[in-house]
Each structure stands twice: as structure tokens, then as C-alpha cells.
Structure 1
Amino acid sequence: MGDLDEKDALKGHNQQEENLKKIPSKQEDLARIFEETELRNKKPDTEKEKIIIRLINGEELDLNVLASTIQKHGPQFSQEFYNQIYRVYSLNGDPKTFRKDKVCADLTIEVIYSRFNKEVLPTIQIQNKYKGYMEREHKYYQFLTDEGILMLQGFIGDAIAALEKCNTAYEFRKLMFDDHKVAYQTDLFRQN
């Protein structure tokens, strides 16, 4: 019985030595993985991977739509956009005034900016602080790259086209959902 205990003890001791030899190689592997991760994260912006889509007309669109600094883009929303919102939503007031009805702000976020990748809107909202009631430091589109502006203009055009076809807010939101998958609250009691 004594020989078996010694053999088991020797076997256990050898196993421990093998395990100890593996520890440095695991630590080296972890260190190498950490270094590679750090190197990838330190790449300058120009070297980061870009997501590019080739459009049917041959143009390429860079889906990295958020700029690293505030851009000096001119106004993006036409008066026609606001005229149509005031008409379809039966809003009182003048759509040409600088301060518009809150419905305009809500629709701009829900129907236009929500169509970007899901990270775009929250990122802009975090970076763009409030400076008063319904007033932020910058216009949302000032956070977009040139590619983002092209997408924004397309979204605005889609909204205007849909608004022109509709007479009620419900029709507009339903059409935006049907055509562009923009979410909206259904009217449970509506008779079609």
C-alpha cells in the first residue's frame, strides 16, 4: 500500500510541475493579446476600418456618418418640410418662424434622425447638451460627416414626399412605416 501512495504522490507532484510550466505560457498569451488589442485601439482614425456601400449609380457611401468635431454645414431642412408638417398636423402658427411647434422637433427626431444607424442619435444627443428648453448647443446635423449629410438629405426628401401624399398625421406615420420602417404608435380604435 505504501508503494501506491508514493506513486500517487509522485504522479501528483509531476502533474503540479507540468501545470506550473503552463502558467508562464498562458501569461505570455494573455500579454500578447492585450498588446495586440492596445495597438488596434491606438490606430489613428484614418487607419480605422470604414464601412462603405456601393450605390446602384456607382457612388460609394461611407457609413461612418458621425464627425469627430462640429461641422459647419449650412441649414439642411427646407421650408417645404415645415410647411408640410404644419399642414398635415394642422398646427397653428407660422412655419417660417425660427421657434417652431414642438411637434416639428419630435418629428425631426422620430422620422429623420431615427433612420440612421441605432448608435447615431444617442451619440449626438449625449454630445449635444441642452442650453435651454428645447434648445441645444448645436444642430444635430452639425455632428454628421459629408456622407451623413447625404443620407440626411435623402431622409428629408423621403419625409417631404410622404407628407405631400397625406392629409392626416396618422396617414403620414403609417406611410413612413410602410415605406421606410419608421416606428409609430398605431391607433387601436381607428376605423379604416
Structure 2
Amino acid sequence: MRRRTRHAWLIPVAAAVALGAAAPALAASATAAPVAVAAGTCTVSPMANGKYYVQGKGFSGVISISNGKAAFTVTADKPYGTFSVRNTKSSTYTVTPVAGGPTVTCTASATAQPTPKETRKQYEQGYQAGYTAGRAAGCARTTPPAGSSEYFTKGYQDGSSAARERSDPPCPPAGAPAAP
């Protein structure tokens, strides 16, 4: 009985000496329950140029992307596990980690994402329209046209505010009581 106790104590100590600091982690992983591998997520979105892009997050290492007709590989960015492939065709894509792991099917997004150049142009057009409308309205508040993009709307609001700030005579601050 004493000999078994001595061996039970001696094996972890000998492993720690042989493996260094990795031994406690190996011993813990040998007794721990298996951990489920989390699957990443991905989408297929239209671009303003009529083509599509596939983007995802939650992946690591090299991944394979396939639509059944063509396949290619990319490496997910560290540390967030993101990837993006532009100018693809409209299709359903599957993403599989090359080193193994769950396969994920990419779902389609309905709206096109504008490029940074397009968002700047929309903002500038909105600013001009808002400034012009603000100058014409004097101190009265103006609203952007219905159905405007978020970038046009932001530019419109900024332009309208700039027109009110530069008006002559000056407009009262927002929320201030009206002059008698």
C-alpha cells in the first residue's frame, strides 16, 4: 500500500521536472471535460459595384471558402479571427477551418454597404443641401428629405446647424425661449 501511494505522488513530480511549467496544464487538461469548439459566423453582402463580399469573424488560422464551384483559402486575422473577401459572386458559401473544426454556411445580407468614398460623397452632398436649406429657412429648423441615407442625413444636419450658427442676425441656441 505504501508503495502505491509513493508512486501516485512520484509520477506528477517526475512529470513536472521533465516537462517544466507545462506539466500542470497537461495534467489539468487530461482530467478536464472536453471543450466545445465555437463556430465562427459569416455573411455574404452586396457591394455598390454589383459584386459581393464574404466576411466573417470567430475563425483562426487558414480557412477554406467554397461555393460548390470554386474554392479558395484565406488566413483569418489575429487576434479577432476576422476575414473578408471582396468581388465575389452572389452565392451561398461554406467556410471551413483547414486545421479542423465546424463548417459554417454564410448567409446573405440584403443591403449593399457603401465604400468609404461613397459615404464621404453622401455626407458632402447632405452638408451642401442642409447648408442651403438652413440659409433659406433662417433660424427655422430643417429636416432632410425622407429616405436619405444615414451619411446624407448626418451631413444635412451638420450643414443646417452650420448655416444657423453663421446666420445674421444670430439664431438663438437650440432650446432657448423665443424672443418676445
Give your verdict on TM over 0.5.
no
Higher helix fraction (1 or 2):
1
Q: TM-score, normalised by structure 2?
A: 0.28
Q: TM-score, normalised by structure 1?
A: 0.27
